[in-house]
């Protein structure tokens, strides 16, 4: 086995451990071109997670059950603007275009 293969396996193991030991649990994954519909209870404040890519806001979803949305600062700002004035459980569509941190654009709309 080459050093590169061994390192890749180690990184994969560490990633799985980091996810399984995360306080937040399972995340809703949003890839380039995706529009994901989730229901979020606005009565609870988001948890701040200091992870591999800096601090992020993590919101628990009502639907899908047992998941979290891990939001960058820009996505969180877009989310807050979209749901301001709302209360209780809101259903939103979150869309992503772009693959990297620099070119990703987010949309959040009430469903």
Quickly list DSSP for 34-78. Answer: -EEEEEEETTSPPEEEEETTEEEEEEEEEETTTEEEEE-HHHHHH
State pTM to two decimals: 0.73
pLDDT of residue 20: 61
What confidence tens digit (pLDDT) does each residue in 13-49 have? 887 766 665 555 588 888 999 999 999 999 888 888 8
């Amino acid at each position: 086995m080459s050093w590169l293969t061994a390192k890749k396996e180690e990184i994969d193991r560490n990633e799985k451990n980091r996810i399984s030991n995360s306080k937040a649990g399972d995340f809703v994954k949003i890839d380039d071109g995706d529009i994901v519909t989730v229901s979020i209870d606005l009565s609870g404040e988001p948890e701040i997670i200091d992870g591999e890519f800096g601090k992020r806001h993590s919101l628990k979803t009502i639907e899908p059950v047992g998941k979290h949305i891990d939001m960058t600062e820009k996505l969180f700002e877009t989310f807050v603007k979209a749901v301001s004035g709302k209360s209780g459980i809101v259903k939103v569509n979150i869309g992503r275009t772009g693959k990297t941190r620099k070119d990703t654009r987010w949309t959040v709309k009430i469903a």
